[in-house]
Structure 1
């Protein structure tokens, strides 16, 4: 089937396009079809959830398949989770990964992800920004399926939800939901959610998922025990995206004890909190100067809960708003 709906949403979600091609969909109207996957530039920008959602809307309108979101979501790769993809894969457990993805979604416009614990159950809920939009159902299906696909790909044990809860009434294609989630599916419920056992959130992520850019690999050479102030600053820049950045985390990263690290900072006449602020301030200036990253994306990379918190911190650091800083950097005075 040829997709003729125009798609102009920025960077193309490569893995999603691959899945469409494998499913027999002609995506030539959305992107030039390379002769092979290797023809795609490896350094091309990674698309995020909003780009995937725009593409989904075009696909849904062109195919008319009400269950297209299930098909696509089960084939999506972590890089379609946007900036949350790598931090999620680097997390120690499924629960940590889901919380990082949820925090990223809160900072971006669009649907939100909420995690709740109810007794022995862990609920992962999708809260749509526009629940009555024409493409809301396939988009929610895609988001639920992609979260489950992430968990199944990166946990070391089989992952089977207790059930899936959906707001829609039971449709004619209801069996496709059961096939996609491989668990009981309840229709006409108050929320759209995957319900896991509480213990599922403690499942460890496989080693290949944890070897992100800020996580030393299993074969790394031990760091020298003497950590200089420059080492501490470098570690803080690598770990700045952690919401609860702590002295203990930096000490582990540098392979020194907390007491040793504390002594080094005192000897240098500085403190941990001051260095954290310095690292985040420097990174914020770099992100605002070098690219077109949104404030929400920058806030996520710096470990803030929302863009407003980042806005207030940046104004405290520099006396300028992020927007004013970006404009001044783009048009320096003669």
Structure 2
């Protein structure tokens, strides 16, 4: 995760009001300041955020309410959305909204989102929590419910996920199954999958002009958050911006981060890595993602990764996986899912 702290959107106060859960009691139970919502911005650590959700769950349990996640799903409205989520609703469809939220999710919660599509075009959203602390079950369930709510609000259709996975400690009530319109499959992975039709179903809330208004501020907020990230994380974030433009150079990254090349290399060395290592790791991760997009040719992927020609991408991919991009696309199992140790970063980064 990029930073140790992140914003808590004030709109959650309205959600608690609609759920008839006293904010003052939640804050007291979570051992958070009574004037928390009077502060701007409202910044919490992961531990504080988890305590906040545990307190919400405890207040609901004390009142005999066993299906609060479903209540949250039914109570979610456009008015309650944080700017990154509202901006996602401006997207043309759920697939685009998920990609935009994946980029900006660190602004509103301590987790990372991976977005993928399979050969049939089904959209799978997988989220990963930071290690070290137990995730509150209500929070984990609410994240699953959120995606269904987002799809239904955007399309005004009763969108139903086709697959939902979660660890066994996530509650599985009949009310939740009925709300999701599917059962939760036991897995170590948190994920939710939608059909290709629902992934591309038009959002009636699409507003490209509004997205253009939101996007610059979201990028600024994300950059501010990343100021507390590791140097390697910040370099990776910068590469995600510069690589599609065809520039994998350290000069492009230092321009994004406003730091000299010598300083950046020293900071990375202090973290036990190098620019070439971060570049190679980022390219490899992006290559795995792009190869899942069946509409992208290998030459296009090479360009998006900042390679001067397709042959350079072939050589690098063979170094990472021992196979070719085409073979990996046909058989994604060990070749793309496993990452061998990379020993030729400097040679491949051209």
Is 1:91–1:97's contact at 8 Å kept on the other side of the alignment? yes
Which digits, 9 at most, give the CA deviation of each residue in 1:243-266, with x for residues without a partner?
Answer: xxxxxxxxxxxxxxxxxxxxxxxx
Match of 1:293 among 201, 209, 224: 224
- Structure 1 match to 2:124: 123
Q: How does 1:50-65 map to 2 (within 5 A)?
A: 55-64=52-61
Return 5+ residue gaps in structure 2 as ranges: 28-36, 230-234, 243-249, 265-350
Match of 1:205 among 172, 182, 203: 203
Equivalent position SS for 2:124:
strand
Q: CA deviation at 1:205?
A: 1.4
- Structure 2 match to 1:185: 183
Q: CA deviation at 1:139?
A: 1.4
- Structure 2 match to 1:19: 15
Q: How does 1:20-35 map to 2 (within 5 A)?
A: 20-29=16-25
Q: How does 1:76-225 map to 2 (within 5 A)?
A: 76-77=76-77, 82-105=82-105, 110-120=110-120, 121-130=122-131, 133=134, 135=136, 137-168=137-168, 174-181=173-180, 183-207=181-205, 210=208, 212=210, 214=212
- The structure whose residues are more often helix, as a share, is 2
Is 1:94–1:202's contact at 8 Å kept on the other side of the alignment? yes
Match of 2:254 among 315, 319, 322: 315
Q: CA deviation at 1:319?
A: 3.5
Gap change, CA 1:132 and 1:68, over 3 Å in 2: farther
Gap change, CA 1:61 and 1:124, over 3 Å in 2: same
Is 1:123–1:196's contact at 8 Å kept on the other side of the alignment? yes
Query: Aligned partners of 1:125 and 1:20: how far apart in 2?
Result: 26
Gap change, CA 1:25 and 1:108, over 3 Å in 2: closer
Is 2:111–2:128's contact at 8 Å kept on the other side of the alignment? yes
- Size of the aligned set, in residue pairs, is 232
Query: Aligned partners of 2:11 and 2:109: how far apart in 1?
Result: 22
Is 1:12–1:47's contact at 8 Å kept on the other side of the alignment? yes
Gap change, CA 1:129 and 1:186, over 3 Å in 2: same
Is 1:66–1:138's contact at 8 Å kept on the other side of the alignment? no
Q: CA deviation at 1:296?
A: 6.7
Q: CA deviation at 1:54?
A: 5.2
Q: CA deviation at 1:174?
A: 1.8
TM-score (norm 1): 0.53
Provide runs of 4+ in structure 1 moved above 6 Å: 46-52, 106-109, 307-312
Is 1:49–1:80's contact at 8 Å kept on the other side of the alignment? no
Is 2:129–2:135's contact at 8 Å kept on the other side of the alignment? no
Is 2:21–2:59's contact at 8 Å kept on the other side of the alignment? no
Equivalent position SS for 1:214:
helix
